[in-house]
Structure 1
Amino acid sequence: MSNSGSPTSGLRAKVQWLSDNGSIFAAYRTLEIAAALNLEPCFTPVESPDSNGMAEAFVKTFKRDYVGVNPIPDASTALQRIDQWMEDYNSDHPHSRLGYRSPREYIATPTSRVSGLTRATPPGQLPV
C-alpha cells in the first residue's frame, strides 16, 4: 500500500485519538479527516468527566512541552514531528502521576502502585 505524497506516508499503526462525545468529534466529516490522518477515534464513556480530564491533560501537556517549544512552519512539518514527540512522551518524558517516570518505565516497573494509582492488568493476563 503506497501513500506517497500523503502527509501520513510511512505510518504503520493507527494512532488512537481520544475525545469526549461532543457532536463535533463524532461528526461524519471529523471522522473522515481522522481516517485520512490515520487516526482511530476513541470516545470517553458518557458522563465520565475523569476520562475527558485525562484527554484534556494530555493535550495541555503535549502543547506545552512539544508544540509550543518547537518551530512548526507548516502542517507537514507538524505531522512529521508527531511520531518523534509521541515516542519521547511515552519513553522519556517524566509524568508526575507515574512517580516522575515515563509510561514505558512505569509499565516495566514490578511495583503495582505509584502515587495512589494502580497499574492496570495487561490484556489477556489475570491480576496477581
Structure 2
Amino acid sequence: MHDNGPEFVEKKLKASLKSWNSVDCNTPTYSPQSNGMCEALNGTFKIDYVYESCLDNTQTVFNQMQKWA
C-alpha cells in the first residue's frame, strides 16, 4: 500500500510487483490518516523483521516472509 507517489507509477516497479505476485494498492486520495497507518506498518515491518534478520535482497525477504506469517 502506498500514497501513489511518482515512484509508484514507474513501469519497472509495476512489473516487479506483478512478478512478485504482490497487489499494488494505494491509500484513498486526500487521506493522510490512511497513509500514516501504512507508513507505520512499513516502518515496523522493516525494523522488527527485515533489519533484525539482516536480509540482503528482496528474494530473501520474500522467502523469509512465509515463516513470519
Q: TM-score, normalised by structure 2?
A: 0.84
Partners in 1 of 2:57 and 2:38 — Cα distance? Answer: 25
Match of 2:31 in 1: 48
Shift of residue 77, structure 1, vs aligned partner = 2.1
Specify every segment of 5 or more residues in structure 2 that has no aligned partner in the other structure, as ranges: none
Match of 2:67 in 1: 84
**RMSD over aligned Cα atoms:** 1.5
CA-to-partner distance for each residue in 1:18-77, whole Å, 9 max, x for gaps?
111112112222111100111110011111101111110001110111112113244432
| Higher helix proportion (structure 1 or 2) | 2
Higher relative contact order (CA 8 A, sep 6+): 2
Larger radius of gyration: 1
Question: Where does 1:59-70 land on structure 2 (aligned, <5 Å)?
Answer: 59-70=42-53
Partners in 2 of 1:73 and 1:47 — Cα distance? Answer: 35
Count of aligned positions: 69
Match of 1:25 in 2: 8
Partners in 2 of 1:23 and 1:63 — Cα distance? Answer: 22
Question: Where does 1:5-20 land on structure 2 (aligned, <5 Å)?
Answer: 18-20=1-3
Question: Where does 1:73-112 land on structure 2 (aligned, <5 Å)?
Answer: 73-85=56-68, 87=69
Partners in 2 of 1:47 and 1:37 — Cα distance? Answer: 28
Cα distance 1:74–1:25, how it changes in 2: closer, same or farther (>3 A)?
closer
- Report sequence identity in percent: 35
* Residue type of the alignment partner of 1:72: L
| Higher strand proportion (structure 1 or 2) | 1
